[in-house]
Amino acid sequence: MAKGNYIKIIFGLKLKQLRIDKNMSLSYLAVKSNLSVSYLNEIETGKKYPKADKIATLAGALGVNYDDLVSLKLFRNLAPIGDLLESNILEQLPLDHYGIEINKLITIMSGASMQLSALIATFIEMAKSSEMSQNNFSRTALRTFKEFNDNYFEELESAAKEFLEENHLDGLNFIESGRLSSILEKKYNYAVDEETTNNFPELDELRAAVVKGKKNKLFLNRRLSDAQKAFVIGKELAYNFLSIKDRSYIYSSIKLNTFDQLLNYFKASYFSTALLINSMFFVRDLELFFNLPEWNGNTLLELMSRYNCTTEMFFQRLTNLSSKHLGLNKFFFLRFNYENGSNRFDLSKELRLNTRRNPGGYQTDEHYCRRWLSIDTLKKLEAELKKDNHFEKKITGILHSKFFGSEDEYLSISVAQKGRLLENNISSLTIGFQIDDALKGRIKFWNDPAIEFKTVNDTCEKCKIADCADRVAQQVSAERAGKMEALETAIKKLEELE
């Protein structure tokens, strides 16, 4: 939150608290201070900050010291709100996108009970002591925003089509980076540089950066594939074509400090993917692929090769268009990163649409179920890399799974691949469609007998599957839940004795 807004809100909170403590109404304070009720109301709600002479008048009317009134130190019952304002938590919540004004929210909170104030204080401490304070609020809010919209944004689809038509690219399904680079340079006065970052070892893991000037410079990492370069250039075109100003100029999600920057980063990514993967061609190709009677991973890879896109772009486009054009609106999408030999699988991206299940575990520290396809494809790729460190092929896989203790079944498709910038790092992209009548009518190979079937769960800690050979952690959460359930059952039996 901007310092000026913070000061205005704090002053308003203190003024209102002092007025209430003195049993003064707004109209009574207005008479004593010779200020209007409307002006005092704007001060108390954090919209205005009075000049020094008016602060002195208010201090006199309230019978308090001037310095105490302007101090940023809040009263004990308001202290949690001060902590909240000082933290970066509110900046990471997209309140304005949900029609919520921070000033009004703070005003409501300031009149809350001590119990709610204690809850706010606890919430802040939890945020400070966890990764929640590291942009996770914004990322969770963005994921929810995408889910509310079925991860399909018509305005961005239309903008991408307009750009393609305007630049005579609408008849193509394979657009090379050089074509987009030329448009960026000629239309938007950029210089694209693929060599300079090679002189800075500390930038080896950075995809790109923009330096603004009379001629903006886009510095690309030379090790990027053409598809990755095209994606970055497409995003830079998006920022310009969509007139997006609030953005990061470093192509790293770590540098996205607010929800608006994260949302704009997503919009630019969506636009770029829509440029490179034409919706009309893509839906047609998917329909042909899903009509195959048997699963074939090589056919999937061949389909990907028709577009100048990365595996992640392909899967992201699939999540954009499945609900709108294919009637497949119940699925999850996961990206896992893995460092060879580490046995640690990091969930770096997730999306869920109309599913009750959460195989990603909400980025938990618990151990993700090792029976899932995401892990299987990563382990298979790791095995290939142990035999040949120069192995470059992608590993595909498919799994028919059923959640333990439920009737929920999923058909998951996954691709694992080596990273280009992080040495010894591999990743898997997985989309899991819930098996229902819509899926059975759309994906013909869903019941291919060659597809492996497994009973799965969320995490080892929560899992009650007996004698699981894939378990890597004790079922502590499941045992704890079982003890609590047994305790509640026993209490009910005691009550029945009465």
348, 337 Cβ separation under 8 angstroms: yes
Q: Dig out the tokens for 294 from the structure.
A: 């048997």
Closest CA relative to residue 187, chosen from 250, 247, 239: 239
* In 387-452, beta strands by DSSP E: 395-403, 409-418, 425-434
d(CA 384, CA 377): 11
Q: Dig out the tokens for 226 from the structure.
A: 């053409």
Cα atoms in the Cβ-side hemisphere of radius 13 Å centred on 143:
18
Q: What is the pTM of this model?
A: 0.76
The 190-193 sheet, strands edge to edge? 190-193, 216-220, 208-211
Q: List CB contacts of 46: < 8 A, sequence separation 6 or more.
A: 5, 8, 9, 11, 12, 13, 103, 106, 107
Closest CA relative to residue 229, chosen from 183, 279, 176: 176
Q: List CB contacts of 191: < 8 A, sequence separation 6 or more.
A: 185, 215, 216, 217, 218
441: left (phi over 0), alpha (psi -120 to 50) or beta: alpha
d(CA 261, CA 247): 5
CB neighbour burial string for 215-225, b if at least 16 within 10 angstroms, e if fewer:
ebebbbbeebe
pLDDT tens across the length of the chain (498 residues)? 445 576 787 788 888 888 888 899 999 999 999 999 999 999 988 888 999 999 999 999 999 888 878 876 666 556 556 666 665 555 555 556 555 566 666 665 555 555 555 555 565 555 555 444 445 667 777 887 888 889 999 999 999 999 999 999 998 989 999 999 999 999 999 999 999 988 888 888 889 999 999 999 999 999 999 999 999 999 999 999 999 999 989 987 665 667 788 889 999 999 999 999 999 999 999 999 999 999 999 999 999 999 999 999 999 999 999 999 999 999 999 999 999 888 788 888 888 888 877 665 555 677 888 889 999 999 999 999 999 988 999 999 999 999 988 889 999 999 999 988 877 899 999 999 999 999 999 999 999 999 999 999 888 888 888 888 888 888 776 567 667 777 778 778 777 776
